[in-house]
Amino acid sequence: MNKQVLSTMQVLAEAQEMFESEKVGTMLKKIDRFEQFLVKFDGLEKLIESYQHLEKLLYTSKEFLCVEEAANYLGFSKSRMYKMAEKREVPSYKPNGKNVFFAREELNDWVRSTRVSSTEEIERQAEIAANAYMLNRKSN
| Topology of domain 63-140, CATH | Multidrug-efflux Transporter Regulator; Chain: A; Domain 2 (1.10.1660)
65 bridge partner residues: 102
Question: Would you give the end-to-end CA distance of the chain in angstroms?
Answer: 121
The structure's pTM equals 0.50
For 50-94, the pLDDT digits (tens) are 888 887 777 667 899 999 999 998 999 999 999 999 999 999 999
- What is the CA 76 to chain-centroid distance, rounded? 10
Structural domain spans, the chain: 13-42, 63-140
Residues 6+ apart with CB under 8 A from 87: none
Q: What is the mean pLDDT of the chain?
A: 83
The answer to whether residues 122 and 115 touch, using CB atoms and an 8 Å cutoff, is no
Convert the pLDDT of each residue in 9-31 to its tens digit.
Answer: 776 777 667 666 666 677 777 77
